[in-house]
Structure 1
Amino acid sequence: MARKVLAVLLPLLLCLAGLTGLLLLCIPTRDVREPPAFKYGIVLDAGSSHTSMFIYKWPADKENDTGIVSQHSMCNVHGGGISSYAEDPPGAGRSLVDCLNQAIEDVPKERHSVTPLYLGATAGMRLLNLTSPAASDSVLSSVTETLTQYPFDFRGARILSGQDEGVFGWITANYLLENFIKYGWIGQWIRPRKGTVGAMDLGGASTQITFETDRQIEDPANEVKLQLYGQSYRVYTHSFLCYGRDQILKRLLAGVLQRYNSHPCWPKGYQTKVLLKDVYTSPCTSALRPQHYDDNAKTTLSGSGDPILCQQLVSDLFNFSSCSFSRCSFNSIFQPPVAGNFIAFSAFYYTVNFLQKTMKLPVTSPEELGAATKALCNESWEKLLARDSKEEARLADYCACATFVSQLLVQGYKFDEDIFPSIAFQKKAGDTSIGWALGYMLNLTNMIPPDHRNFYKSTDYGSWVVLILLFIMVILIALAMLFCFAHSFKSQTAI
Structure 2
Amino acid sequence: MDLESTKMLKHSGRHSPPPESFADKIYQFRGAFLMVALPLLLVTLILYVRPSASSNESIEDYALTHRKISPDRIPSESFAVIFDAGSSGSRVHVFRFDRNLDLVHIGKDLEVFLQLKPGLSAYAQYPQQAAESLISLLDKAESVVPLEFRSMTPVRVGATAGLRALEGDASDKILQAVRDLLKQRSTLKSEPNAVAVLDGNQEGAFQWVTINYLLGKLGRDYSDTVGVVDLGGGSVQMAYAISETSAAKAPKKVPDGEDPYVKEMFLRGRKYYLYVHSYLRYGLLAARAESLKQSDDSGNPCILAGYDGSYKYGGKSFNASSSPSGSSLNECKSIARKALKVDESPCTHMKCTFGGIWNGGGGDGQKNLFVASFFFDRAAEAGFADPKSPVAKVRPVDFEDAAKKACQTKLEDAKSTYPHVEDGNLPYLCMDLVYQYTLLVVGFGLDPFQQITLVKQVKYHDSLVEAAWPLGSAIEAVSSIR
TM-score, structure 1 length as denominator?
A: 0.71
Distance 1:84 1:193, change over 3 A: closer
Cross-structure match for 1:53 = 92
- 2:184 paired with 1:146: no
Identity across matched positions, percent? 25
Which of the numbers 242, 266, 282 marks the counterpart of 1:243? Answer: 282
TM-aligned CA distance change 1:55 to 1:411, over 3 Å: same
Q: Indicate which of 355, 359, 375 corresponds to 1:331.
A: 355
- For 1:348, the equivalent position in structure 2 comes to 375
Map of 1:31-70 to 2, 5 A cutoff?
36-60=75-99, 62=100, 67-69=101-103
Mapped to 2, the partners of 1:358 and 1:171 lie a distance apart of: 25
Whether the 8 Å contact between 2:292 and 2:319 is mirrored in structure 1 is no
Give, in whole Å, the separation in 1 of the partners of 2:319 and 2:93: 39
For 1:385, give the aligned amino acid. Answer: K
Match of 2:230 in 1: 201
The code of the aligned residue for 2:352 comes to C
- Counterpart of 2:143? 105
Q: In structure 2, the residue corresponding to 1:53 is in which secondary structure?
A: strand
Q: Report deviation, 1:364.
A: 4.2
CA contact (8 A) 2:122 2:314 kept: no
Q: For the Cα contact (< 8 Å) 1:200–1:342, is it kept in 2?
A: yes
Distance 1:429 1:358, change over 3 A: closer
Does residue 125 (structure 1) correspond to residue 125 (structure 2)? The answer is no
Partner of 1:442: 475
Is the Cα contact below 8 Å between 1:69 and 1:442 reproduced in 2? no
Q: 1:94: how far off?
A: 1.2
The higher-RCO structure (CA 8 Å, 6+ apart) is 1
- Quote the offset at 1:375 in angstroms: 2.7
Alignment partner of 1:218 out of 213, 236, 250: 250
Secondary structure of the residue that 1:345 maps to in structure 2? strand
Q: Which has the larger radius of gyration?
A: 1
Letter in 2 for 1:140: L
Please point out which of 196, 204, 210 is paired with 1:166: 204
Match of 2:417 in 1: 387
Q: Which residue of 2 aligns with 1:184?
A: none
Superposed counterparts of 1:475-486, under 5 Å: none
Alpha-carbon shift at residue 447 of structure 1 (Å): 0.8
Shift in CA distance, 358/57, structure 1 to aligned 2, threshold 3 Å: closer
Contact 2:394 2:453 in 1 (8 A): no
Residues in 2 aligned to 1:329 and 1:104: alpha-carbon distance in whole angstroms: 42
List per-residue Cα deviations over 1:18-44 (Å, max 9, x = no partner). Answer: xxxxxxxxxxxxxx9799542111111
Asked if the contact 2:229/2:370 (under 8 Å) is kept, the reply is: yes
Number of equivalenced pairs: 379
- SS of equivalent residue, structure 1 residue 317: helix
Aligned counterpart, 1:306: 328
CA displacement 1:369-393 (0-9 Å, x = unmatched): 4333223212233442222334233
For residues 100 and 43 of structure 1, the distance between their equivalents in structure 2, rounded to whole angstroms, comes to 10
Q: Is the 8 A contact 1:356 1:363 kept in 2?
A: no
User: What is the alpha-carbon root mean square deviation over aligned residues?
Assistant: 2.8
TM-score, reference length from structure 2: 0.72
Residues 94 and 141, structure 2, Cα contact 8 Å, conserved in 1: yes
Distance 1:367 1:35 in 2: 50
| Matching residue of 1:74 | 113
- Alpha-carbon spacing, 1:144–1:163, altered in 2? closer, same or farther (3 Å): same
**Are 2:265 and 1:230 equivalent residues in the alignment?**
no
| Larger displacement relative to structure 2 (377-386 or 403-412) | 377-386
Q: 1:342-396 deviations in whole A, cap 9, x for unaligned? A: 1001011112223344899x98445444333223212233442222334233222
**CA–CA separation in structure 1 for the residues paired with 2:443 and 2:393:** 18
Unaligned runs of 5+ in 2: 1-70, 105-109, 253-259
